[in-house]
Each structure stands twice: as structure tokens, then as C-alpha cells.
């Protein structure tokens, strides 16, 4: 079509496929100016902005990750502390329980000891009293019996009885009979 047109416009002084040199000069200068301004002042700044944007986004992600990590660490720490506190509490409770048990045992033992002691003291006292009474009774019964026999027999048997241990034998006989 181009050549057809060129052929048709044969009488024309213009050939569209031949560049006009003045236009080449103007176009070169104008395009050079455009390239200089845009490639020096605009597009490098756009690259910088893109880079800054990438950095901002990646920095944000990084910060978020750091915060997340810190939060996780704190959570772990709190969990550990909580577990420790629980263990401590359990230990304290166990100790307290053990202490209470010990104290109870002590008190029981002391009470038992005390009661044993009281019972023993009572028994001892009773035994001592009984022995005293028995001793007194023995002496008195002997004396009364001898006196009574003396009165009945009319003579003093006291020396005789003492000498032969009659009363004692009799009383021993009585005791063994009573014991039986």
C-alpha cells in the first residue's frame, strides 16, 4: 500500500519513506531530553519507592514475627512459672498434710503416754495403798486376834505367838485362800 501510494503520488515532491533530516535532529534532541529527565529523576525514584515498600512490608512481617516469638517465649515462661507454682503449692500442701499428720501422731502418742502414765500412777497409788492397808490390817488383825485370844485364854500369848509366827502363818493361809 505504501509503494502504491508512493507511486500514485509520483508527481509529489515528498517521499514518505525518506526521513526529513531536520525532524531527525528535533526528534533526537527532544527524545534525549525526555530520556534524560525520566531516566534520571523519575524511574530510579520509582525503583527506590518499590524497594522501600518491599522493605516496609518485609520489615513489618519481621517485626510481627519477632513479636510473635517474644509472645510465645513469654507464654512458655508463664506456663513454666505456673507449673512451678502448682508444684510448689502441691508440695506445700503435702508438707502441711504431713506436718498435720505428724502433729496428730505426736499428740496422740503424748495423750496415750499421758493416759498410760495416769493409769499407771493410779495403779501404783492403788497398789501402794492396798499394800499399806494390808500391812496395817495385818498388824492390826494380828494384834486384835492375839488380844482377843489372850482375853479368851486368859494369859498373854503375845510373846508366844510372836515367837512361833502363828499369826503370820494364819494370815498367809487366809491370803492364799482369799486369792484362790
Give the list of residues 6+ apart from residue 160 with CB closer than 8 angstroms, or none: 166
Instruction: Considering the complex, state which of residue 22 and residue 177 has its C-beta at the smaller distance from other proteins.
Output: 22
CA angle 119, 121, 123 (to 5 degrees): 70
> Does the CA dihedral 126-130-131-133 come out positive or negative?
positive
Considering only residues 50 through 79, tell me which ones interact with other proteins, judged by CB under 8 A. 50, 52-53, 56
**31 part of the interface to other proteins, by CB under 8 A:** yes
DSSP-derived 3-state class of residue 154: coil
Give least dist CB 10 to other proteins, A.
10
**4 part of the interface to other proteins, by CB under 8 A:** no
**35 part of the interface to other proteins, by CB under 8 A:** yes
**41 part of the interface to other proteins, by CB under 8 A:** yes
Give the list of residues 6+ apart from residue 156 with CB closer than 8 angstroms, or none: 150
Give least dist CB 91 to other proteins, A.
56
Give least dist CB 60 to other proteins, A.
11
Give least dist CB 64 to other proteins, A.
17
**44 part of the interface to other proteins, by CB under 8 A:** yes
Give least dist CB 92 to other proteins, A.
57
End-to-end Cα separation, the chain, in angstroms: 161
How far apart are alpha carbons 39 and 35 in whole angstroms?
A: 6
Alpha helices per DSSP H over the chain: 2-8, 21-37, 43-153, 158-164, 166-179
Instruction: Considering the complex, state which of residue 8 and residue 159 has its C-beta at the smaller distance from other proteins.
Output: 8
DSSP-derived 3-state class of residue 157: coil
Residues in contact with other proteins by CB under 8 A are 1-2, 5-6, 8-9, 12-24, 26-28, 30-31, 33-35, 37-39, 41-50, 52-53, 56
Amino acid at each position: 500500500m505504501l509503494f502504491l501510494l508512493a507511486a500514485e503520488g509520483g508527481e509529489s515532491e515528498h517521499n514518505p519513506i525518506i526521513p526529513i533530516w531536520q525532524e531527525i535532529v528535533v526528534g533526537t534532541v527532544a527524545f534525549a531530553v525526555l530520556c534524560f529527565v525520566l531516566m534520571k529523576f523519575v524511574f530510579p525514584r520509582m525503583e527506590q519507592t518499590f524497594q522501600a515498600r518491599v522493605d516496609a512490608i518485609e520489615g513489618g512481617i519481621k517485626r510481627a514475627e519477632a513479636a510473635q516469638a517474644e509472645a510465645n517465649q513469654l507464654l512458655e515462661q508463664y506456663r513454666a512459672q505456673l507449673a512451678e507454682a502448682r508444684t510448689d503449692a502441691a508440695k506445700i500442701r503435702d508438707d502441711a498434710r504431713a506436718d498435720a499428720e505428724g502433729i496428730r501422731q505426736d499428740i496422740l502418742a503424748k495423750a496415750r503416754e499421758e493416759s498410760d502414765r495416769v493409769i499407771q500412777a493410779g495403779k501404783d497409788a492403788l497398789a501402794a495403798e492396798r499394800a499399806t492397808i494390808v500391812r496395817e490390817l495385818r498388824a492390826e488383825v494380828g494384834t486384835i486376834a492375839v488380844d482377843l485370844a489372850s482375853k479368851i485364854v486368859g494369859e498373854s500369848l503375845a510373846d508366844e505367838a510372836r515367837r512361833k509366827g502363828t499369826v503370820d502363818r494364819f494370815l498367809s493361809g487366809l491370803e492364799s485362800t482369799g486369792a484362790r
